[in-house]
Structure 1
Amino acid sequence: MVTRHIWQEYLDVVDNLSFIDTIKSIYKLRSQTIERRFADTKEQHGLKWTKHKGIQKVAMETTLIFACINLKKLANYLQDSLDILLIFLEFHYISKKKDKLIFEL
């Protein structure tokens, strides 16, 4: 008796997608987007060589590095969101001031 994995049907669908021309063209862009981020991380954050020996120590170091990278991304995202919010509030303040209503933060 031959049994298949419970997700094998979905894996077959993904395998079949790789033969479609539009998917092929999108996949070629992967090296410019996703793999580029890993290359930048490797260059900018010292992941070419490890400073520690042992898989647990290296895993701990890379986990800390990627946690810092994610915090930096979050801070940049929040800063951009805050800038948009401040622009909105400033516009709201100016428009209310024209109507003789004062909006204070």
Structure 2
Amino acid sequence: MDCEGYCQYKSNPEGCTVYSLRKDCFSKKQKVMTHRMWEKYKDIARKNKLMATRKKLYKVRGSTIERSFADAKGIYGYRYARFRGMKSVQMQAYLTTACQSMKKIALHLTKKGLVAGYFYKVYDFIWFSFTKIKKDYRLLGIPKGFPTICNLSSAFSGNT
């Protein structure tokens, strides 16, 4: 394995001289095959993709995983970063993911008849809080970036 992550396999030039179909196999003195170090894992993934159970899961993917990404991009603002800096964008991602998870839990519980709207109220409150602070952070005196817990309390009390 070389420093760039490639595995090189070289043929033995002395052993190939006796081989009668050598000209069909390769034209130079020595043949070198190069593979990435994770090529075997890609082969395993390709084999798994062709299994019957994997094909069924792949058909469902569009309505589950891809739907979640589409919601994040379209509804929750993943199309553009609202803040600047790694920590601020990471906090936006955490809050958005938490909101998506709460929505999923609320939908699941309401389908089972275990709760009637309580989680929706919590979800709406958190999402409203996030969007209100995002829009009014300059008016509230909150520094640029994701609001902290201290800033959340001042946002709803009207203090700056």
Q: TM-score, normalised by structure 2?
A: 0.37
CA–CA distance in 2 between the matches of 1:38 and 1:64? Answer: 15
Counterpart in 1 of 2:73?
42
Matched, 1:67 2:98: yes
What is the Cα-based RMSD across aligned positions, in Å? 3.2
Describe the shift of the 1:77–1:21 C-alpha distance in structure 2 as closer, same or farther (beyond 3 A). Answer: closer
CA–CA distance in 2 between the matches of 1:10 and 1:52? Answer: 37
Amino acid in the other structure paired with 2:106: A
Matching of residues 1-105 of structure 1 within 5 Å: 13-20=44-51, 23=54, 27=58, 30-31=61-62, 33-82=64-113
- Give the unaligned 5+ runs of structure 1: 1-8, 84-105
Structure 1 segments, 4+ long, off by >2 Å, are 9-16, 18-33
State the identity %.
35
Displacement of 1:29 after TM fit? 5.5
Q: TM-score, normalised by structure 1?
A: 0.52
Worse-matched range after superposition: 41-50 or 22-31: 22-31
CA–CA distance in 2 between the matches of 1:29 and 1:58? Answer: 30
Query: How many pairs does the alignment contain?
Result: 76
- Give the unaligned 5+ runs of structure 2: 1-39, 115-160
CA displacement 1:37-67 (0-9 Å, x = unmatched): 2012210111111111111110101100110
Specify the structure having the higher radius of gyration (Cα): 2
**Larger helix proportion of the pair:** 1
